[in-house]
Chains A and B, each alone.
Chain A
């Protein structure tokens, strides 16, 4: 029998059952040769290879010998982790599936506060082998959760109103009949800290929110033990036509994979998943996540993106805040929607904020969105915030710092000086932000360390980065001194983008300090002129 030719390439096909699965082909030393999503086709020289599949954080590997004949490998869906007890996911428990089905099924008990849409919130907990920590499961997985109106009024206390099972796999579920529109999902932690996020309930659709618990480790060296609280940031959402929850819904798995990929910013739209977006899809959250994943790609497929937006508007109408935010991605005139209330996703919020650089009226000053813009928390994929009143209460200027009585005006003055240093073009070397931070603020005000998160200081830093990154300096001219600081559009866009604040909020911050900045600028300029004149005089004297 003739020996095979080990250099003639052989066809290899890898097919994942689930279109959202990433597939990697690696050589025998684990170097990545090829990556695809859903299906991988390649030709390689015969030899030893490794196939790796990944969905969420679940993965699977297999080592293969590619011989002389073409090889096709097929793999079932991976059991990734989801707060939704979907079939084939890692945290599916039968008791949770049955409870979610019963609570959403025909004849299920509802809390009625409106009509035309429904919200279902299902929080659960289960043993997950935290042997090292021994953190007991919660008794009521909906502890601290409530649904509130946009004005802050509690509409449904989920801890009280949910049906609760306190068994070995505890759960709490509540079906609420609501008017279509925006609501706030609020969580009050045991320490009193509140976080909120928006839930939009479209008319004629059923919105389902699923939560598991997360472990909270107290900071500092106190005796307080770790505890489990609803994981609002890790919540999953389905928006369905069917009222009853279905654990075997294959599209729901794709929605979850898309959410997981968006939260870790993995670009995984390819193959049949991409085709699915290009055609009619019946699960709006898949379209919303998918559109955001498209925006993560190096080059936006504008045609596909527009198809997705069109499909989403067909499904949800023209007032869904996340869809309208997405419509701003390719053109700031893409939507006429005014964002008095924020969207659900953080990525959507970033699109809105960015668009305000050119269309400030998108987020009116004083609106709910404008007020919470300063209080947004950091995690993906949901836009979560602390209520503005809570932020004001926990002002960073805290008591008991080194026993000093803080002179707020003087401190503000120094921060203004820091800002001003970068308003002066680089040719001025009188003062620099680093010098201020290092020598003035820190030494004079130990409390400075507590203020570094303040908006003013952040602005100062961002202006530094504008200069460092783009090599431009901020304009400062006689014409701009009268009432406010003037920035170019590009500078405003950068400030808006980096601060994550709508334009009106940025301008408000900047203009508040304008008079003192201008006064000091004029004084510094005068000093510079005098210094330069003296220097020139000295040089002339030395030369003569």
Chain B
């Protein structure tokens, strides 16, 4: 039986016991929209295989009188995870092996922290009924992803966590209610985890060009998944191409002030799980970005060469540098501009961020 893809998408905005956030619910909706679109994650929204848990859809909805009453809670999220467990057992009973699906997307946005145990690259999402004194109400996203991966419930697990990662001393991750991981399951198992912040650091949200507040990490992620992170030759968005995009592009989704603030960590953490590269999705039309380069005087009105790639893949295109501006339409990549038969070389990058691509900074 062909296995299908699943998604659990959580965005918690209202924390009566902590500071209120603005971006997570909007970001979760955005991820949900992508994961259920035909040219994105491809999960049929009517199939019930994409679960959305956000603050405003809770019953009763916010506001709450105090944090104790706030939703969503751990059980709301664990319930969806347990459905996957039931499905795996059902498939086993039906002779299809103890596997729940082909791929699982886990997206968690909200307040978070790093538990003190288990040791390693752990991130937990605090549920709405958390407070400064109550960090026990959480979903250990990495532990759940690891459990599902170890048990082989999916061939591929993609975990995205737009949460802070403050270390919490003496706060162990909540146990996985299913006990120790199972052995067996899918023969091929791959993981791809991305975290908005590094160990002990905060994630960030800010007003984006659409006038609304979003997580900086999720904005970068969604821009990448919608095409900017694709390989410029194949159109495939793979785990390696997405990692490269997130690392390089995320600083440019900060405000200029924050981007230049050396106190702020600006790139996400994408731990190497040793599972190799694999394809996430593919875009039909490789996105291109129009850029206008302000040519220095020594480049104006001279024959120019646009160079991209390296080795056997290197491509040299002749251009005519008439005037002080050069407008090009190019896919995301680094390029150099060379005056033909001269030593002058300018480097520039098309970052796959429209507003930033208008006049790229030149390296010389």
Chain A residues in contact with chain B, CB under 8 A? 6-7, 26-32, 44-50, 56-59, 61-66, 79-81, 90, 128-129, 131, 217-221, 263-265, 374, 376-380, 394, 396, 398, 401-402, 432-434, 438, 446, 449-453, 455, 457-458, 461-462, 464-465, 467-469, 471, 497-501
Contacts and interface: CB of A to CB of B under 8 A. Distances in A.
Given A48-B335, A396-B133, A471 B180 contact: yes
Given A30-B334, A217-B19, A449-B134, 18 more contacts: A6-B311, A45-B314, A48-B309, A50-B349, A58-B262, A59-B251, A63-B334, A63-B349, A64-B347, A64-B363, A264-B201, A376-B169, A379-B167, A396-B134, A434-B175, A452-B134, A468-B176, A500-B116
Contact of A28 (B116, B133, B199, B310): B310
Given A48-B310, A461-B174, A468-B176, A90 B262 contact: yes
Interface stretch (B187-195, B214-222, B238-246): B238-246
Contact of A453 (B133, B244, B251, B336): B133
A65 B201 contact: no
B310 A46 contact: yes
A377 B175 CA distance: 22
A12 to B, nearest CB: 11
B212 interface: no
B170 A453 contact: yes
Contact of A57 (B231, B265, B312): B265
Contacts, number: 213
Contact of B200 (A29, A50, A264): A264
Interface in B5-52: 16-20
A216 to B, nearest CB: 11
Interface in B281-313: 307-313
A92 to B, nearest CB: 12
B323 interface: no
A468 B174 CA distance: 12
A418 B58 CA distance: 30
A57 B263 contact: yes
Interface residues of B, number: 74
A516 B360 CA distance: 70
Nearest to B338: A65
A378 B166 contact: yes
Contact of A402 (B68, B173, B176, B263): B68
- Among B68, B199, B310, B313, which residue has the most Cβ atoms of chain A within 10 A? B310
B118 interface: yes
B262 A80 contact: yes
B178 to A, nearest CB: 8
Contact of A48 (B170, B180, B181, B347): B347
Query: Lowest 6 CB-CB distances: which A-B pairs, in order?
Result: A47-B310, A452-B136, A63-B347, A45-B311, A498-B117, A81-B262
B232 A461 contact: no
Contacts of A462: 117, 172
B168 interface: yes
Given A57-B262, A438-B75, A500 B199 contact: no
B68 A446 contact: yes
Contacts of A81: 261-263
B77 interface: no
A449 B347 contact: no
B17 A220 contact: yes
B347 A464 contact: no
